[in-house]
Copies of this chain bind each other. A is one copy, B any other.
Amino acid sequence: MTTERVVVIGCGFAGLAAARQLAGSPVEVALIDQHNFHTFLPFLYQVATAGLDPADVAYPVRSIFRRQPNVTFRHGRVTSVDLETRRVTLADATTIDYDHLVVGTGAAAGFFGIAGASEYTRPLYTLGDARRLRNDVLSTLEAADARPEDYDGGAPTFVVVGGGATGVETAGALMELLDVAVRQDRLRIDPVRTRVILLDAGDRLLAGFDEALGRYARETLDGRGVIVRLDQAVEEVTAGGVRLVGGEWIPAAAVVWAGGVTVEGTLAATLGVARGRGGRVTVESDLSLAGHPEVSVVGDAAAVPRGPGRPDPCPQLAQVAIQSGRHAGRQILRRKAGRRSEPFHYKDKGMMATIGRRAAVTQLPGGLVLRGSLGWLAWLGLHIVYLIGFRNRIIVLLNWWWRYVNWPGGPRLIDADVDVGGSQ
């Protein structure tokens, strides 16, 4: 009898959790990703706003499974899955056959058909996104120092679209970066006229959270100088700024897209199976595909049910990805042992979002909420614990400590080959 092969597509939280569940078991696990590292997505906004380095939030997949000989990594991009012949094809035309498949390919930025959004905004869903946004923001600050007259009102405006956790966190961190730029880096930009505007089409921030936390986030951002504008839908984005529904024009040096995600355009959308809102793949109660018990779809790619009789999908959170990936791994071992699969049950461990230094909101199950410094400490502790790899934890802590002491050297590098003006 040959060893059964499990193919796991995607090394995000979901795929990683599935592979970890299977490490050491008598199956062969082939983990495939187009990046050779796992990205700790909850900290991406910190990379984008120069609080952390890219390497602080990324961890090589091979290192994670260094001591798990039954897990192998394949660097590549899967272009198609044939559910009938149980075979995946990669961009370089090689194929890998599977006995079990876990699809954890996540989502991508969703622009909802808004004109210009995909061309002229920066989403925050990959490490590359975060690096590009950081280069944009830092280059803009340098350009504003050198030639303030190039900007309307003599100073640049940064617009963040979307008032969910990513948007709130990014807007808060951008405001802190401006403070550092003026006070520590002595950039000659006007801290009053340099604006961070957070737009949301709805009537509150942090829509998934308790309403009081949404209000707290708004008040805290207000107090720190972020201009929060609710009930403002974006009509169009251009190279120069954002036009709101209604016609108002907001010039912007950079537009961050935190307006939502979609599964459209990702591998999961090509499986030819039923999908629901946001393009998420419809799965059975055990997270498998209908008619394909050997295939599970997990994490952001799937409409993960909360539990039996609770078919409303879970939000697209790291915890859901981790728990669903782990569940898929466990079911593979059950099927292999000839046992029936179990339904998935989501265990709500709460949600968190930072608003900036020493302020965060934490919503625990059962209605308990934390905010302010206490919420921030809870957020910090939990995220550090979940960060993969001891080295990264130490370095993240060191970076943070410095940042809180005096934000010195820091990772404020414009590390792409940024054009610094002129036509040459």
Chain A interface (Cβ < 8 Å from any Cβ of B): 34-37, 53-55, 58-60, 62-63, 66, 69, 72, 74-77, 79, 90-94, 127-128, 131, 138-139, 142-143, 145-147, 184-187, 389-392, 394-395, 398, 402, 408-417, 420-424
Tell me whether B413 and A75 are in contact (CB under 8 A).
Answer: no
In the complex, chain B residues whose CB is within 8 Å of the CB of A394: 398
Tell me whether A413 and B54 are in contact (CB under 8 A).
Answer: yes
Taking A36-B142, A77-B424 as given, write out 13 further A-B residue pairs in contact, using a Cβ cutoff of 8 Å, ordered by the A residue number: A36-B412, A36-B413, A37-B413, A53-B54, A55-B55, A60-B185, A62-B187, A66-B408, A76-B421, A77-B422, A91-B420, A128-B417, A391-B410
- CB closest residue in chain B, given A401: B391
Tell me whether A55 and B58 are in contact (CB under 8 A).
Answer: no
- CB closest residue in chain B, given A89: B422
Cβ-closest 9 pairs across A and B: A91-B422, A92-B421, A75-B142, A62-B185, A53-B55, A389-B409, A63-B409, A391-B409, A60-B412
- CB closest residue in chain B, given A142: B75
Indicate whether A63 sits within 8 Å of B389 (C-beta atoms), given known contacts A90-B421, A91-B421.
no
Tell me whether B398 and A60 are in contact (CB under 8 A).
Answer: no
In the complex, chain B residues whose CB is within 8 Å of the CB of A75: 139, 142-143, 145-146, 414, 420
Tell me whether A60 and B90 are in contact (CB under 8 A).
Answer: no
Most B CB within 10 A of own CB, among A139, A147, A391? A391
Tell me whether B79 and A186 are in contact (CB under 8 A).
Answer: no
Tell me whether A413 and B58 are in contact (CB under 8 A).
Answer: yes
CA distance A136 to B127 in the complex (A): 18
Residue from B37, B66, B391 within 8 A of A402 (CB atoms): B391
Tell me whether B391 and A92 are in contact (CB under 8 A).
Answer: no
In the complex, chain B residues whose CB is within 8 Å of the CB of A35: 414
Copies in the complex: 2
In the complex, chain B residues whose CB is within 8 Å of the CB of A139: 75
Tell me whether B79 and A422 are in contact (CB under 8 A).
Answer: yes
CA distance A75 to B90 in the complex (A): 42
Most B CB within 10 A of own CB, among A62, A410, A424? A62
A421, chain B: closest CB distance, angstroms: 3
Tell me whether B92 and A146 are in contact (CB under 8 A).
Answer: yes
In the complex, chain B residues whose CB is within 8 Å of the CB of A390: 408-409
CA distance A142 to B92 in the complex (A): 13
CA distance A138 to B61 in the complex (A): 13
Tell me whether A131 and B415 are in contact (CB under 8 A).
Answer: yes
User: Can you pick out 24 interface pairs between chain A and chain B where the beta carbons lie within 8 Å of each other?
Assistant: A36-B142, A36-B412, A36-B414, A53-B54, A59-B409, A60-B185, A60-B410, A62-B412, A63-B185, A63-B408, A66-B185, A69-B186, A75-B143, A76-B421, A79-B424, A90-B422, A92-B420, A92-B422, A128-B415, A390-B408, A391-B409, A392-B409, A395-B398, A398-B398
CA distance A35 to B94 in the complex (A): 41
- CB closest residue in chain B, given A188: B72
Tell me whether A77 and B421 are in contact (CB under 8 A).
Answer: yes
In the complex, chain B residues whose CB is within 8 Å of the CB of A92: 146-147, 420-422
In the complex, chain B residues whose CB is within 8 Å of the CB of A409: 59-60, 63, 389-392
- CB closest residue in chain B, given A53: B55
Residue from B53, B72, B91, B412 within 8 A of A186 (CB atoms): B72
CA distance A92 to B418 in the complex (A): 13
A104, chain B: closest CB distance, angstroms: 17
CA distance A398 to B397 in the complex (A): 13
CA distance A139 to B92 in the complex (A): 14
A224, chain B: closest CB distance, angstroms: 22
Indicate whether A415 sits within 8 Å of B147 (C-beta atoms), given known contacts A185-B66, A410-B60.
no
In the complex, chain B residues whose CB is within 8 Å of the CB of A424: 77, 79, 91
In the complex, chain B residues whose CB is within 8 Å of the CB of A184: 62-63, 66
